[in-house]
Structure 1
Amino acid sequence: MIEDKRWEKVYSFEDSPFIMEILTQLRDKNTGSIAFRKGLVKLGRYMAYEITKTMETETVKVETPLEETEGIIVKDRRNVVIVTVLRAAIPLMEGLIKVFEHARVGIVSAVRGKAPKFEIEMDYVKIPQIKPEDTVIVADPMIATGSTLTKVLEEVKKYGEPKRTIVVGVLAAPEGITKIKSKFPDVEIFVAKIDRELDDKGYILPGLGDAGDRAFGEPLKLTTLPQVHYIE
Structure 2
Amino acid sequence: MIKDERWEGVYSFEDSPYLMEILSNLRDKETGTIKFRKGLVKLGRYMGYEFTRTMDYDKLRVETPLETTEGVAAGDRKHVLIITVLRVAIPLMEGLIKTLECSRVGIVSASRGHAPEFNIEMKYIKVPQIKPEDTLIIADPMIATGSTLIRTIEGIKQCGKPKRVVIMGVLAAPEGIDSIKELHPDVEIFVAKIDRELNKKGYILPGLGDAGDRAFGEPLNISMLPLMHNLE
Distance 1:65 1:228 in 2: 69
Aligned length: 229
RMSD after superposition:
1.2
CA–CA separation in structure 2 for the residues paired with 1:102 and 1:159: 20
Instruction: Look up the SS of the partner of 1:53 in the other structure.
Output: helix
The one-character-per-residue Cα deviations of 1:28-64 (angstroms, maximum 9, x if unpaired) are 0010111111100011111111111001112111122
| Alignment partner, residue 118 of structure 1 | 118
Q: Please say which of residues 113-122 and 59-68 is displaced more in the overlay.
A: 59-68
Three-state SS of the structure 2 residue aligned to 1:171 is: strand
Is residue 53 of structure 1 aligned with residue 39 of structure 2? no
Distance in 2 (CA, whole Å) between partners of 1:104 and 1:142 is 22
Whether the 8 Å contact between 1:55 and 1:74 is mirrored in structure 2 is no
Q: Secondary structure at the match of 1:225?
A: helix
Higher mean C-alpha deviation, range 104-113 or range 63-72:
63-72
In structure 2, the partner of 1:201 is: 201
**Cα distance, 1:67 vs. partner?**
2.2
Instruction: Please report how far the alpha carbon of residue 66 of structure 1 lies from its aligned counterpart in structure 2 after TM superposition.
Output: 2.5
Higher helix share: 2
Residue 146 (structure 2) aligns with: 146
- Further displaced range: 11-20 or 58-67: 58-67
Partner SS for 1:117: coil
Unaligned runs of 5+ in 2: none
State the identity %: 69
- The aligned runs of 1:21-170 (5 Å cut-off) are 21-170=21-170
| TM-superposed deviation, 1:111 | 0.4
TM-score (norm 1): 0.96
Q: Which amino acid aligns with 2:21?
A: E
Match of 2:227 among 186, 209, 225: 225
AA in 2 matched with 1:5: E
Moved over 3 A (4+): 226-229
TM-score (normalised: structure 2): 0.96
In structure 1, distance between residues paired with 2:218 and 2:155: 28
